[in-house]
Amino acid sequence: MEVAITGASGLIGSALARSLRADGHLVRPLVRPTSSAAPTEAAIRWDPAAGTIESDALEGIDAVVHLAGAGIGDRRWSPARKREIRDSRVRGTDLLARTLAGLSRPPAVFVSGSAVGFYGDRGDELLTERSTPGTDFLAGVVQAWEAAAQPAVDAGIRTLFLRNGVVLAADGGMLPRLVTLFRLFVGGRLGSGRQWLSWVSIDDEVGVIRFLFDHADTSGPVNVTGPAPTTNAQFTKALGATLHRPTVVPVPAFGPRLVLGREMADALLFVSQRAEPAALTAAGYRFIHPDVATALRAQVGDRR
């Protein structure tokens, strides 16, 4: 199988690439002119900002996985940064979707990144792929992100949107930062701790993508979240137990809001999204890590 991946050096992309290569598949990373990655014969050049891509190199590719986009939590949200977050997703997706739609031998499947941020802040409401979108900044970004893939859908390419929860991985994302705090004995629930956290282990993230390659009857949005969403308080307790650290001191909301700005802190730390993987359950996917305690032990548990 020949798979093209944007964002192949990121947390999800690198794990997916390793998994595919281990099973003998050919991975074709899409790289920008400014990329620091060493060029390889398999690489495909593209530049979303300039609207250019090596379209001939995509002819006959079996699957395309699109994961590229500016990070949402690595810088404070200035107006310019918010534009970059949106544009990096919409422009890249639009370029890729239009290019795939114009191929004489398009891929059988186009898997495009998305997020449970689509739903906005929803309290205790149980969210499936049929739930309505939210109205905040990230919800608007995700709606535009998914809409940009429409040319591929119109061309008859089976298109999937990975509405990812928080990806739990030992080597990237949110988890290593939390582990550092907990090991310093300063880990605790955020605010009230009642907000829902939709999570997925990196192993299941990769497993879901590979599962979707082979399930031709599944398309559209897919909640890539574990089957048991947890509250922030429950997550905090599970992480503390995994690391053998106390979790008695809560983190008041004003602290993160002061450091990150209220909008960013609320969108990333205090938002409540109780998403369930209804489409994956219906398709028969079996989770490697069905609960958060199992996922945390697999990533950061005591390996002595």
Residue that the structure tokens 């990230």 belong to: 138
pLDDT digits (tens, 9 = 90+) for 153-200: 999 999 999 999 999 999 999 999 999 999 998 899 999 999 999 999
Q: What share of the chain is helix, strand, coil (3-state, %, to 5)?
A: 40, 20, 40
Q: Please, which pLDDT band fits residue 36 given cuts at 50, 70 and 90?
A: low
Do the Cβ atoms of 138 and 267 come closer than 8 Å?
A: yes
> What secondary structure does DSSP assign to 87-154, as a single string?
HHHHHHHHHHHHHHHT-SS--SEEEEEEEGGGG---TT-EE-TTSPP--SHHHHHHHHHHHTTHHHHH
pLDDT digits (tens, 9 = 90+) for 275-287: 999 999 999 999 9
Q: Which DSSP helix (H) or strand (E) runs through 28?
A: strand 26-31
> What is the value of pTM for the model shown?
0.95
User: Please, which residues have CB within 8 angstroms of residue 239's CB and are 6 or more apart in sequence?
Assistant: 178, 179, 182, 187, 247, 296, 300
Q: Which DSSP helix (H) or strand (E) runs through 47?
A: strand 44-47
Q: Please, which pLDDT band fits residue 304 given cuts at 50, 70 and 90?
A: very low
pLDDT digits (tens, 9 = 90+) for 77-91: 999 999 999 999 999
Residue that the structure tokens 């929803």 belong to: 122
Spell out the domain ranges in the chain.
2-165+201-225+275-288
Do the Cβ atoms of 206 and 169 come closer than 8 Å?
A: no
240 is written with which tokens?
A: 């503390």
- Amino acid 147 reads A
C-beta neighbour count of 100 within 10 angstroms: 24
What distance in Å separates the CA atoms of residue 159 and residue 244, rounded to the nearest whole number? Answer: 43
What distance in Å separates the CA atoms of residue 65 and residue 196, rounded to the nearest whole number? Answer: 28
pLDDT exceeds 90 at position 249 = no
Enter the DSSP assignment of 56: G
C-beta neighbour count of 211 within 10 angstroms: 17
pLDDT exceeds 60 at position 66 = yes
Most distant pair of Cα atoms in the chain: their distance: 60
Q: What is the CATH number of domain 2-165+201-225+275-288?
A: 3.40.50.720
pLDDT digits (tens, 9 = 90+) for 113-150: 999 999 999 999 999 999 999 999 999 999 999 999 99
pLDDT exceeds 80 at position 252 = yes
Q: Report the chain's mean pLDDT, rounded to a whole number.
A: 95
Residue 199's alpha-carbon distances to 13, 15, 105, 138, 184, in angstroms, are 17, 17, 36, 17, 24
Helices 232-243 and 292-300: crossing angle, nearest 10°? 40
Do the Cβ atoms of 218 and 279 come closer than 8 Å?
A: yes
